[in-house]
Chains A and B, each alone.
Chain A
Amino acid sequence: MPTVSMTVNGKSVSADVEPRTLLVQYLREHLGLTGTHVGCDTSQCGACVVHVNGESAKSCTMLAMQAEGSDVSTIEGLADGDTLHPMQEAFRENHGLQCGFCTPGMVMSAIDLVRTNADPSEQEVREWLEGNLCRCTGYHNIVKSILAGAKAMAG
């Protein structure tokens, strides 16, 4: 089995994996980082979104070996100790989550939006979320959270 090495949440990791191992399987099953979820098998739901070299990526659609040498960050790496990332805090403050299953992907996707667009409009947020499904919230409070999170990240 080939060896794959990358940085995950600032830590160097390396493992022998079957070549067909998906990045999300590597994160969940090899590293125990179960915050990244799998909600579909067609890359539609976005529950598995992580950052690869700072950009959002669906980790169910990438082989672990494609992330060789990359800098990967997951939902587990966002908070600073007990202090939530401003986007996490905005979701908490604005009730942007219910069952929590889509939430890691939503938060990771939202942070990538703000990276590319520091002051998004409501419509821009809604369009950006085309790759993330939520069945609980009707998106109302997710959109509100992301707008508030963007402001907090700027501030």
Chain B
Amino acid sequence: MSESGIGAAVRRVEDKRFLTGRGNYTDDINQARQLYAWMLRSPHAHARLKSVDTAAAAGAPGVVAIFTGADMAADGVGGLPCGWQIHSKDGSPMHEPAHPPLAVDKVRHVGDQVAIVIAETKAQARDAAEMIAVDYDVLPAAIDMDAALAGATLVHDDVPNNMCFDWELGDKNATEAAFADAAHVVSIDVTNNRLIPNAMEPRAAIAQHDSSTGHYTLHTTTQNPHVIRLLMGAFVLQIPEHKLRIIARDVGGGFGSKIFHYAEEAILTWASAKVTQPIKWVAERSESFITDAHGRDHETHAELALDNDGKFLGLRVATKANIGAYLSTFGSSVPTYLYGTLLAGVYTTPAIYVEVKTVFTNTVPVDAYRGAGRPECTYLLERLVNKAARETGIDPVEIRQKNMIQADQFPYQTPVALQYDVGDYPAAFDTALRAADYAGFDARRAESESNGKQRGIGISTYIEACGIAPSAIAGALGARAGLYESAQVRVHPTGSVTVYTGTHSHGQGHETTFAQLVSESFGIPVENVEVSHGDTGEVQFGMGTYGSRSMAVGGPAILNACNKVIEKAKKIAAHILEASAEDIEFKDGKFTVSGTDRELAFGEVSLAAYVPHNYPIEELEPGLDENAFYDPLNFSFPAGCHICEVEVDPDTGVVDIVNFTAVDDVGRVINPMIVEGQVHGGVAQGIGQAMMEGCVYDDSGQLLTGSYMDYTMPRADDLPNLNVGTQSVMGASNPLEVKGVGEVGAIGSPPAVINAILNALAPLGVDDISMPATPARVWQAIQNA
């Protein structure tokens, strides 16, 4: 390992600008002659738009233009597309109702866009928006999933019973047979609470159009600029790629919510050509709550069949998934292929059958939020396994060990489509039990009891599929695009390097970890490497950052480009050193003729590549600048074990997390400091889901948790220090053998927390609690027991 190469805890390259206030977030950017937009949004969850009268507002001070859905429709603007097509059990494709950027005939959730007001200042735009007279014919709202499925109120008139699709996976007959043979059947009903992602930077965009060239430029807060260019350019506004540039410089967190192509991006870009001036829009936090795609929101009934020894025989799952008012970009993939395919978990359950009814409601669209489908799956499984332990009288540790896939069983084909490539789940499990001092728990419980507290310990194992995605497999599962990643490694004449990646960093530290890859490959310090991302005008192509794919898919693309550079550089070095290319060795930044002391430094060869006096020009092009695309052979499969220990005050219901241990197999670790930070952040979001966060709509579709006064975000004194570590098995199906780390914390932690709380409350007779387990809910559960 070199000082700055793979495995080194290199301090982050990007930090200095963030720490000195020199970040370049979208709202920090301003253009000459810039105008400001305000979105007029529906205050109703469901209403027909009878009329939208903008006449008075148009005459307000500073107003430049006002546009409505009718204006965009008249221009032939398309609807926002969904990137993943799912088919129902009967083979019919999912319902894909129109999703106009500005509402045309109906509004379908509180926050749906009705009009854009463009003015000289933001205050003028906002003031004028209040003068628009909208005549709403308010309709009953479909909010509860069961009520929506009954179909009395239709979110989309052409979608019967509000059912987007009714999907299944697994062998139904084999699963039924497994249940017929079972000694025990354990059943559970769980709700996976709806969450609001809440990246700290609100979404923002600046659109501009140059009428002399026909070029559009959109600065936007996105996790995947090229995907926005593709979706908005090809499907919504019909702007070809060479006339459309998407730029996302610094982005203040995403967690999934900034993957999707949002209406405001299309509205602003379209309107910028009308007003021929740049337009800026920045969401207020209250807008973020009612327009950023939400996450989770599942209701599930599941049953586990076991034999007399506690071996799992079969798993049967029926889930209702809320998809909100419209299909968001990846909305259909989350409750299906990111959920059902992981239901084997780390266990050898031989027969699994899952069916998912996905439901339109008059709420904000639901899409991927950190973990996306896999937290829902893990929470269900690990609650169910704990309940099975309790009902069969087998220890929660033993029942897991008894059913775990063993290290010699890989590759392991699950009954739900995936083939796990490598892993050692029992090893990470044992490490976690030791790290959490599971054996010493009884003594700690006794001590808590002597202080009037209930103490509990909860275990969760998990597996996830990351490195999205092997394109052929993704395509077979319904993805409408392959999910390659691309890289360009440009060596400059004096040996410094710029790397262009199609992934996007919005907190993950790619400017550091990707530079470490190049540092390792070329034997040069990280200071000599710069990483460029987030601009379709600079980076050739990319699919962005989500699904823990950046290092697992983007990393090998960079590595392959580096290897191409080295191969070419060897030929150049061979020419200069008058040797055969086969005899050139490259190590520690030096090209050496094997067995001799004749050598050239990396910078000498790069200089020769650009400004040579002596170059094999008839055999080789000048320059040292290589592209590579990489498509993984399989998903990667991070896995691990999280253990939570809590102390509950039975008088108040307050839960204190006294210890949290995570042992994760994330494959090769490029930068251990950044890996730990990613786990910390994910676990905090998982603890937030388990104990604090929950999105609440009333029956009319008003969001009751629409601000930080109402939606509980984890704060510093809500969380403990976290005991995190990695125990990795090499051999993942990519050249770097990395598995991904961005989502593990949010996936593994919620069931560990709830299992711990239930363990603490078991002596009081509590056997179920829902997320978020707030003090009020815990106290009430104790009272009801």
Pair B674/A95 contact, Cβ less than 8 Å: yes
Pair A107/B200 contact, Cβ less than 8 Å: no
Could you jot down 26 A-B contacts, CB within 8 Å? A34-B25, A37-B200, A38-B202, A41-B284, A41-B285, A44-B709, A75-B19, A75-B21, A76-B21, A92-B12, A98-B508, A99-B251, A100-B19, A100-B250, A101-B252, A127-B716, A129-B715, A130-B715, A133-B713, A136-B677, A137-B677, A138-B683, A138-B745, A140-B680, A140-B684, A141-B677
Pair B20/A75 contact, Cβ less than 8 Å: yes
Q: Which of B630-677 contact A (CB under 8 A)?
A: 673-674, 676-677
Contacts of B713 in A (CB 8 A): 133, 135
Q: Mark A103-129, 1 if CB is under 8 A from B, else 0.
A: 110010000000000000011011101
Contacts of A52 in B (CB 8 A): none
Task: Closest B residue to A141 by CB, please name it.
Answer: B677
Q: Which of A47-93 contact B (CB under 8 A)?
A: 47, 74-76, 78-79, 84, 88, 91-93
- Across the A-B interface, the 5 shortest Cβ-Cβ residue pairs: A35-B21, A101-B252, A100-B18, A138-B684, A99-B507
Q: Mark B676-720, 1 if CB is under 8 A from A, else 0.
A: 110011111100000000000000000000011100011111010
Pair A134/B286 contact, Cβ less than 8 Å: no
Q: A92-B16, A93-B11, A136-B681 are in contact. Are A34 and B28 (CB under 8 A)?
A: yes
Pair B708/A42 contact, Cβ less than 8 Å: yes
Pair B21/A36 contact, Cβ less than 8 Å: yes
Give the interface of B toward A (CB within 8 A).
11-12, 14-23, 25, 27-28, 123, 198-202, 250-253, 255, 284-286, 506-509, 673-674, 676-677, 680-685, 707-709, 713-717, 719, 721-722, 745
Partner of A104, one of B21, B507, B677, B721: B21
The yes or no answer to A11 lying at the interface (CB within 8 A) is no
Pair A95/B12 contact, Cβ less than 8 Å: yes
Contacts of A122 in B (CB 8 A): 721
Q: A42-B708, A135-B198, A137-B680 are in contact. Are A127 and B19 (CB under 8 A)?
A: no
Pair A103/B707 contact, Cβ less than 8 Å: no
The yes or no answer to A102 lying at the interface (CB within 8 A) is yes
Pair A107/B19 contact, Cβ less than 8 Å: yes
Pair B21/A39 contact, Cβ less than 8 Å: no
Pair A37/B201 contact, Cβ less than 8 Å: yes
Pair B509/A98 contact, Cβ less than 8 Å: yes
- With most chain A CB atoms within 10 A of its CB, the pick from B27, B200, B508, B680 is B200
Contacts of B17 in A (CB 8 A): 100
Minimum Cβ distance to chain A for residue B76 (Å): 36
Complex-state Cα separation, A41 to B202, whole angstroms: 11
Contacts of B714 in A (CB 8 A): 138-139
Minimum Cβ distance to chain B for residue A125 (Å): 7
Contacts of B21 in A (CB 8 A): 33-36, 74-76, 104
The yes or no answer to A23 lying at the interface (CB within 8 A) is no
Pair A97/B18 contact, Cβ less than 8 Å: yes
Minimum Cβ distance to chain B for residue A87 (Å): 9
> How many inter-chain contacts with C-beta < 8 Å in the A-B complex?
177
Minimum Cβ distance to chain B for residue A60 (Å): 10
Partner of B716, one of A98, A132, A136: A132
Minimum Cβ distance to chain B for residue A32 (Å): 9
Pair A99/B253 contact, Cβ less than 8 Å: yes
- With most chain B CB atoms within 10 A of its CB, the pick from A28, A34, A36, A40 is A40
Pair B200/A133 contact, Cβ less than 8 Å: yes
Q: A99-B507, A127-B717 are in contact. Are A39 and B15 (CB under 8 A)?
A: no
Contacts of B707 in A (CB 8 A): 40-42, 44
Task: Closest A residue to B680 by CB, please name it.
Answer: A138
Contacts of B15 in A (CB 8 A): 91-92, 97, 100
Partner of A103, one of B19, B508, B677: B19
Complex-state Cα separation, A102 to B18, whole angstroms: 9
Contacts of B683 in A (CB 8 A): 138
Partner of B684, one of A101, A107, A139: A139
Pair A135/B708 contact, Cβ less than 8 Å: no
The yes or no answer to A148 lying at the interface (CB within 8 A) is no
The yes or no answer to A142 lying at the interface (CB within 8 A) is yes
Complex-state Cα separation, A107 to B21, whole angstroms: 11
Q: A99-B201, A99-B253, A142-B716 are in contact. Are A40 and B28 (CB under 8 A)?
A: no
Interface contacts beyond A84-B19, A138-B722: sample of 12 additional A-B pairs, CB < 8 Å, sorted by A: A36-B21, A41-B285, A75-B20, A98-B509, A99-B201, A99-B250, A133-B200, A135-B255, A135-B681, A135-B685, A135-B713, A138-B714
